Amino acid sequence: GNSVTQMEGPVTLSEEAFLTINCTYTATGYPSLFWYVQYPGEGLQLLLKATKADDKGSNKGFEATYRKETTSFHLEKGSVQVSDSAVYFCALSDLNAGKSTFGDGTTLTVKP
């Protein structure tokens, strides 16, 4: 079956530090890959996505590249802000099955 493994948290960084959150996946076929972000008290919202190998998704300074050879989709940001504090979820979608598989989430805290 499909699975997503995320870097364990929590992650605590100082403002303007570089962020990497690792994500690897196991899937049959060619899934689409996603990063979602959940702010306190809210639902998950899409941060970025990539639908095929070597695609780079980007949004709000965050980036992730779909690496088929390493089955990875690591999230990066060059300079984090306090407002980036949230829980980040890596996910893959199985378009044939019509459903998504989520990682366990990584909590990021950015301190001023």
* Residue 106 lies near another protein (rule: CB under 8 A): no
* Residue 53 lies near another protein (rule: CB under 8 A): no
3-state secondary structure 22-74: CEEEECCCCCEEEEEEECCCCCEEEEEEECCCCCEEEECCEEEECECCCCECC
Size of the site for another protein (CB under 8 A): 23
* Residue 73 lies near another protein (rule: CB under 8 A): no
Stretch that binds another protein, among 8-16, 43-51, 59-67, 74-82 (CB under 8 A): 43-51
d(CA 88, CA 72): 15
Tell me whether residue 72 or residue 107 sits nearer to another protein (CB atom): 107
Among 29, 40, 98, 112, binds another protein (CB under 8 A): 98
